[in-house]
Amino acid sequence: MCGISGLISRRKVRENGARIKRSIVLQTERGNGLGAGYAAYGIYPQYKELYALHVMAINNSVMEEVSSFLRQHFYLHQVEDIPVQDKVIDDHPVLQRFFVEPAPNGSTASASGANFNEDDFTIEKVMQINVGIEGAYVSSSGKNLGVFKGVGTPEDIYDFFRLDEYEGYAWLAHNRFPTNTPGWWGGAHPFNLLGWSIVHNGEISSYGINKRYLETYGYSCNMKTDSEVVAYLLDWLIRKHGLSIYDSTLVLAPPYWSTTDRIEDEKMRSRQVALKVIYESAMLNGPFAILAGFDEGMFSITDNTKLRPMTVGETEGYNYFSSEIASLYEMEENCENVYTPRAGQPCIVVYEGDESRLEVGSLNS
């Protein structure tokens, strides 16, 4: 049932969330009021070199524990409450954001050392908070982006977080209809890790296998919803293993063996077989449509039977994604080149200046 929307300016023109709000509010009936959220890229240009950690905690005491932990491992450039309208949602966690720089030798020292990896360090500390500090969760950990989510309708969450006051060049939105997992603030979408943010419609029936696979490599999955594994798998496949976006989609939603066997190019067929074998435990099973934002762009993918919908549109300098065609026109009434991808077919947009365009993946190319 869940609703999905996405908007991206290929030239990184920033705007507030008014258009993405209209698109996801049109899909209000795809949710049940138990979860909604937004991700926005480019909203913190003044801190674009710093990790922006959005933290939710059950009370001020827990938030103080998080703050103390972060001061031990990061240099904190700015700490502030996330602005909200309490009159929209009065029962909510404590919400703060920390703009930080990794400091592995303590908060008085900056990150250094030839073998030190800031991203790995930040992930490690995010996982330690999520697992080790009861009642606290890091909902957003990338640079120059923020995730705003909670229990409520898409309109409630947008107004609660005052998203009219932010400007970004890429937006994701989600309206949740939780079925097998609870509706709670940490379990709302988008899910984020570093630059990766995902919204998901459907069910990841392979969650148990995916979870055990990720935990082998240090990722902790404890947000009580199956969608969480997708963001972590993208980080593992692309950032850590260096796979392309297209190859990573072949891992997450691999073509059927019968399709692979029909590929005439031997080198291409061998590559797809290798991806299926090497990353078998990273494959996603179940009915799903996924929209992912990342530092270099945005892409969508569905399962190979396409049991959940996805549509894509384009205008000069922009691309739009949604579960429903009508929602594309809420973002741009003159939307052109409206396209419905085939089952398992990725649609990829990257920031490459004025000449960048939507890339539609082919299972045979």
Q: What is the pLDDT of residue 228?
A: 94
Q: What is the pLDDT of residue 110?
A: 47
The answer to whether position 293 is within a domain reads yes
Q: What is the pLDDT of residue 363?
A: 38
Ramachandran area for residue 106 (φ above 0: left; ψ -120 to 50: alpha; else beta): left
Q: Which of 26-30, 54-58, 343-347, 348-352 has the lowest mean pLDDT?
A: 348-352
Cβ neighbours for 159, distance < 8 A, ≥ 6 positions apart:
85, 88
Is residue 124 within 8 Å of residue 232, measured between CB atoms?
A: no
Q: Which residue has the tokens 């720089």?
A: 101
Percent of the chain having pLDDT more than 70?
94
Q: What is the pLDDT of residue 177?
A: 85
Closest by alpha carbon to 8, among 313, 323, 297, 246?
297
Q: What is the pLDDT of residue 365?
A: 36
The answer to whether position 186 is within a domain reads yes
Where does the chain show beta strands of DSSP type E?
A: 3-9, 36-41, 51-57, 74-81, 94-102, 136-140, 145-150, 170-175, 191-193, 196-202, 288-294, 297-302, 311-315, 318-322, 336-339, 347-350, 359-360
Q: What is the pLDDT of residue 4?
A: 97
Q: What is the pLDDT of residues 260-269, one digit of tens each?
A: 999 999 999 9
**Residue 23 pLDDT > 60:** yes
Question: Predicted confidence band at 145 (pLDDT cuts at 50, 70, 90)?
Answer: very high
The answer to whether position 79 is within a domain reads no
Q: What is the pLDDT of residues 69-89, one digit of tens each?
A: 999 999 999 999 999 998 999
Q: What is the pLDDT of residue 364?
A: 36
What six digits make up the tokens of 105? 């030798």
Q: At 260, is the secondary structure helix, strand, or coil?
A: helix
Q: What is the pLDDT of residue 109?
A: 45
Is residue 308 within 8 Å of residue 289, measured between CB atoms?
A: yes
pTM (2 d.p.): 0.94
DSSP state of 272: H
The answer to whether position 129 is within a domain reads no
Closest by alpha carbon to 18, among 145, 192, 164?
164
Average pLDDT, the chain: 92
- Measured over the CA atoms of residue 333, residue 336, residue 340 and residue 344, the dihedral's sign is negative
d(CA 223, CA 153): 20
**Residue 98 pLDDT > 70:** yes
Number of helices (H), then strands (E), in the chain:
10, 17
Q: Do strands 336-339 and 136-140 pair parallel, antiparallel, or not at all (unpaired)?
A: unpaired
The answer to whether position 287 is within a domain reads yes
Catalytic site positions: 2
Q: What is the pLDDT of residues 114-137, one digit of tens each?
A: 678 999 999 999 999 999 999 999
Q: What is the pLDDT of residues 212-228, one digit of tens each?
A: 999 999 999 988 889 99
Q: What is the pLDDT of residue 362?
A: 44
Compute the average pLDDT of residues 335-345.
92
**Residue 112 pLDDT > 80:** no
The answer to whether position 53 is within a domain reads no
Q: What is the pLDDT of residue 43?
A: 98
d(CA 349, CA 172): 14
CATH classification at residue 323:
3.60.20.10
Compute the average pLDDT of residues 187-201.
97
Q: What is the pLDDT of residue 183?
A: 83
Percent of the chain having pLDDT more than 90?
87
The answer to whether position 360 is within a domain reads no
- Between residues 341 and 362, which one has the greater pLDDT? 341
Q: Which of 139-143, 263-267, 275-279 has the lowest mean pLDDT?
A: 263-267
**Residue 165 pLDDT > 50:** yes
The answer to whether position 162 is within a domain reads yes
Number of structural domains the chain divides into: 1
Compute the average pLDDT of residues 297-322.
95
Owning domain of residue 289? 3-43+144-355
